[in-house]
Structure 1
């Protein structure tokens, strides 16, 4: 399936604009992950990462999208150029209305970063750089799947910046996203480890 989308060079890298491309390509009420993976070619990884990460900024929604995000991250880490989603995940759909609502809410917080993004070649727009993006994304997915107060937003925000850079072929923005993602993952890991330690200590008092 071939879909004509607006080239990255023709407009600023806003989430609203990118999501508008998706919405225009699929006018139905719901959009499946499989359709998007087929439609956007070499931009599919970046598009899918972005769309799966947006809920990570909202409480209570992140864990639902953690598994497909983990699968995409591992595939990128292994060097795949195009996503290969299992059938059960490819059939999963997103409401167009929810997608547009998430895009609008997220773009407000990322507006400064979006104005900065533009096509820039470099290390992270290449096979090795994309593998790094993939494995970091897989770790972010684990942070989204595991329950913890305040552990979703920081890793997801950095990963969204990475995804924007990936979509727009902007190595510099990806580099900033890598830094933010690592910092967010360190924070989330510390919080989760602290919770585990407190749980073990609490069990010791009970026993």
Structure 2
């Protein structure tokens, strides 16, 4: 992803067959990303198109795709708002995301999406080797809601500016989203722990910055 979201296009009508959904519901993430890129041959693919294509796995996959650029400096705030909306909907118990028009029309480059399934993202394939369906509390409806609200917390940390505060929460959320996609209770639990730790670190840094600002203001006044 290049950090720019094009809002000029309107999501194209989509007709995905039941067989296609059944085929990708259990497919590895890298293969699903490749399928999406092949299904939409245009230069850019809208978030609305991806949400409809991903079906029941839309929350996890969209959060994953939005979180990856957040590991890069200066990119987090661009993708924080869509993540925030997805997190709220997931936290409220929705099974499929319903994106507002201005979010659904936002798009990513098809070439950037393809990189997630090729050489530049081999680490995803490596992680997938250890991620597999494992039922448990975190894969339940209550677990989904917890993941949603933690995603909201992560999104807020990504939106707020702070030195070094984007990477730790984003990494934890990526692990958590991988677990959601593959219904892996163990991976979700690990991601929850990493996300909470990352958000606690980011909150502490931002709180310290605010304290310094208040102290500096007091010295000036």
- CA shift at 1:103, angstroms? 6.2
CA distance in 1, matches of 2:117, 2:159: 22
- Which residue does 2:140 correspond to in 1? 126
Aligned to 1:204: 218
Aligned residues: 204
SS in 2 for 1:94: strand
Compared with structure 1, are the counterparts of its residues 181 and 103 closer, same or farther at alpha carbon in structure 2 (3 Å cutoff)?
A: farther
Equivalent of residue 43 in structure 2, options 29, 49, 65: 29
Post-superposition CA distance 1:10-41 (Å, at most 9, x none): 5xx4x544422321232211010111111111
Q: TM-score under structure 1 normalisation?
A: 0.90
Structure 1 pair 51–94 and aligned structure 2 pair: CA distance change class (3 A): same
Counterpart in the other structure of 1:159: 173
Q: CA separation of 1:105/1:150 partners in 2, compared to 1, >3 Å: closer, same or farther?
A: farther
**Unpaired runs of at least 5, structure 1:** none
Q: SS at the partner of 1:118?
A: coil
- Cα deviations by residue, 1:113-157 (Å, 9 ceiling, x for unpaired): 332101111111111000000000000000000000111111011
Separation of aligned partners in 1, 2:190 and 2:136 = 13
Matched, 1:189 2:198: no
Quote the residue 2:128 is aligned against: 114
Verify the 8 A CA contact 2:43 2:110 in the aligned structure 1.
Answer: yes
Does structure 2 conserve the Cα–Cα contact (< 8 Å) formed by 1:55 and 1:102? no
Gaps of 5+ in 2: 1-14
* Partner Cα separation in structure 2 for residue 106 and residue 164 of structure 1: 18
Q: Distance in 2 between matches of 1:19 and 1:96?
A: 10
**For 1:19, which of 22, 30, 33 is the aligned residue?**
33
